[in-house]
Amino acid sequence: MYIKNTSEILTKELPNVQLTLRQIGLQAISKAISSVKSKRLMEKCIRVLNNKLFIENDEYDLQKFEKIYIIGGGKATAEMALTLERILSNTKDISYKSIINVPKNLEKQDFFKKSKISINFASHPIPNESGLKGTLSMMDLIENSTENDLIVCLISGGGSALLPLPKKGIKLKDLQEINSLLLSLGASIHEINTIRKHLSDFKGGNLAKKLYISSGATLISLIISDVVGDDLDSIASGPTVPDKTTFKDAFKIMKKYDLLGKIPISVKKHLEKGLSDKSLENPKPNDLCFTNAHNYLIGSVTSAAREVKSYLTNEGFEVDYFSNNIIGEARKFGKSLYGIISHQVQESLNQNKVVRKALIGTGELTVTIRGKGIGGRNQEMLLSFLNNVKNNKLNYHFLIISVNLDGIEGNSEAMGALIDNYTFEQMTSKNIDPEKFLANNDSNSFFKKLRTEIISGPTGCNVNDLLLILISI
């Protein structure tokens, strides 16, 4: 199992029903992680045979290319790159150069030692100088390519922060400031990436545009989604696909969060100029720069949901994938969750059924920072749920797990947390008030006290978050 603190979560003090539900829940999370590991997703969609690269239903004759360049970035791209390297080892007489940007928390991983891939460790969610340096190196490869070369771009969530390349006149510190502001205000990932795309010479289709201008080489992008709806132009801010957003959209977001008087002057000037100068707009669907660009979505949280559903069905649960669009403020969704569960329970009671039910949800919530505590969106959502039901009597057995499958969320070391009847009882008997922790955005400290934070460390995955609810009536 991927969960490092399993023994702490499966305490001997648990009643048998809760112990069983916890065991099943943790096993489901492990299966979810396995299903979206980059290696597995890459091996399912690409192969090399007789010096030909097959991706889904497409075929590329590798003998036609003089060189292969592997670039990109994101939380999942390290394992993507290493898997691609192994697959390409079946080819002959083809050289490749590479550089990818990955999170610096992967620095201690041993699997880079035997690789020829150049790994650059950068910062997430706030970009840093190392990320900029790596991105500039990628652009050097692009500018030195020829029309006879193949560019393979590996993209996963986190790439927006890991691949910074600010527009002329905008400094890296300006990007850092705007990123911090948007994250603290609870802006959605779509909103944040709309801003990022219009401040970057890499994102928003600009990588494809730069390549088209420099050489027109063939561009293949392998993409793992971490955004709700799997919009390619939002995943890592879409460096190789047309941008569906505009400067007008970016300006509206700034107004929505009352940021026009708080952002760096260079950012404000660039956005204002973009409103009047259409030539500054990112490339759109009919742009010629996408003529030789081929984008493949090779994985998303849907794979994890399917794997969990299959496992739970075999365990005797009625399973409902009730939402693939969980978005919005974590606290608000946490409050609404009691109603969702109560509806399922009442439905079973009305039918006089003794059942095991499972609900699966996927998406990504946001947190508005009000305090100085430690936590993350899934933990805050669960804490909000507990605060909402703390005076209720729950006459059924339940378990809720909500996690970031990446392995780390917010400023905590946890991937999420677990709550159930036993958690509820412990919270009450020990007089631990969730409202106090909620007020300080200190959800992780709360779940540490109850020993139900879930610790995995970085998983190398990068898809949407997973919510799992088990009900035994």
Q: Could you tell me if residue 417 is inside a domain?
A: yes
Q: Could you tell me if residue 221 is inside a domain?
A: yes
pLDDT number for residue 354:
58
Looking at the fold, whether 86 and 19 belong to one and the same domain comes out as no
Looking at the fold, whether 449 and 378 belong to one and the same domain comes out as yes
Q: Could you tell me if residue 267 is inside a domain?
A: no
Looking at the fold, whether 451 and 406 belong to one and the same domain comes out as yes
Residues 145 and 321: their CA atoms lie apart, in Å, by 45
Q: Could you tell me if residue 374 is inside a domain?
A: yes
Looking at the fold, whether 227 and 336 belong to one and the same domain comes out as no
pLDDT number for residue 183:
86
pLDDT number for residue 125:
87
Looking at the fold, whether 77 and 99 belong to one and the same domain comes out as yes
Looking at the fold, whether 10 and 72 belong to one and the same domain comes out as no
**120 close to 137: Cβ distance less than 8 angstroms:** yes
Q: Which helix (H) or strand (E) holds 343?
A: helix 330-350
Nearest to 11 by CA among 317, 443, 468, 420: 420
Looking at the fold, whether 123 and 237 belong to one and the same domain comes out as yes
Q: Could you tell me if residue 215 is inside a domain?
A: yes
Partners of residue 200 on adjacent β-strands: 166
Looking at the fold, whether 355 and 237 belong to one and the same domain comes out as no
Residues 269 and 334: their CA atoms lie apart, in Å, by 39
**182 close to 195: Cβ distance less than 8 angstroms:** yes
pLDDT number for residue 109:
63
* pTM summary value: 0.88
User: Which residues have CB under 8 Å from 213's CB, separation 6+?
Assistant: 289
Q: Which helix (H) or strand (E) holds 279?
A: none
pLDDT number for residue 236:
95
Looking at the fold, whether 224 and 329 belong to one and the same domain comes out as no
User: Over its length of 473 residues, how does the chain's per-residue pLDDT go in tens digits?
Assistant: 799 999 999 999 999 999 999 999 999 999 999 999 999 999 999 999 988 999 988 999 999 999 999 999 998 999 999 999 988 887 767 778 999 999 987 776 666 667 788 999 999 889 999 999 999 999 999 999 999 999 999 999 899 999 999 999 999 999 999 989 998 888 888 999 999 999 999 999 999 999 999 999 999 999 999 998 899 999 999 999 999 999 999 999 999 999 999 999 999 999 999 999 999 999 999 999 999 999 999 999 999 999 999 999 999 999 999 999 999 999 999 999 999 998 888 877 677 665 799 999 999 999 999 999 999 999 999 999 999 999 888 888 999 999 999 999 999 999 999 999 999 999 999 999 999 999 999 999 999 999 999 999 988 888 999 999 999 98
- The CATH code of the domain that includes 450 is 3.40.1480.10
Pairing of strands 119-122, 95-103: parallel
Structure tokens given for 54? 């097959």
Looking at the fold, whether 368 and 239 belong to one and the same domain comes out as no
Q: What does R_g of the chain's alpha carbons equal in angstroms?
A: 23
Q: Could you tell me if residue 441 is inside a domain?
A: yes
Looking at the fold, whether 25 and 91 belong to one and the same domain comes out as no
Nearest to 29 by CA among 312, 225, 317: 312
Residues 425 and 15: their CA atoms lie apart, in Å, by 12
- The CATH code of the domain that includes 108 is 3.40.50.10180
pLDDT number for residue 255:
94
**416 close to 409: Cβ distance less than 8 angstroms:** yes
What b-and-e string marks burial along 332-368, b requiring 16 or more CB atoms within 10 Å of the CB?
ebbbebeeebeebbeebeeeeeebbbbbbbbbbbbbe
Domain residues for 379? Answer: 6-36+302-472
Q: Could you tell me if residue 95 is inside a domain?
A: yes
Structure tokens given for 246? 């505009």
pLDDT number for residue 408:
92
Residues 126 and 172: their CA atoms lie apart, in Å, by 10
Residues 27 and 80: their CA atoms lie apart, in Å, by 25
Instruction: Output DSSP code: residue 407.
Output: S
**327 close to 390: Cβ distance less than 8 angstroms:** no
Q: Per-residue pLDDT tens for 363-373?
A: 999 999 999 99
Tally of CB atoms within 10 A around 269: 12
Domain count, the chain: 2
Question: For residues 333, 335, 339 and 344, what is the CA-based torsion angle, rounded to 10 degrees?
Answer: 60
Helix (H, G, I), strand (E, B) or coil at 366: strand
Cα–Cα distances (Å) from 327 to 246, 264, 331, in that order, read 22, 29, 11
Tally of CB atoms within 10 A around 46: 21
Tally of CB atoms within 10 A around 49: 9
**269 close to 168: Cβ distance less than 8 angstroms:** no
Looking at the fold, whether 306 and 293 belong to one and the same domain comes out as no
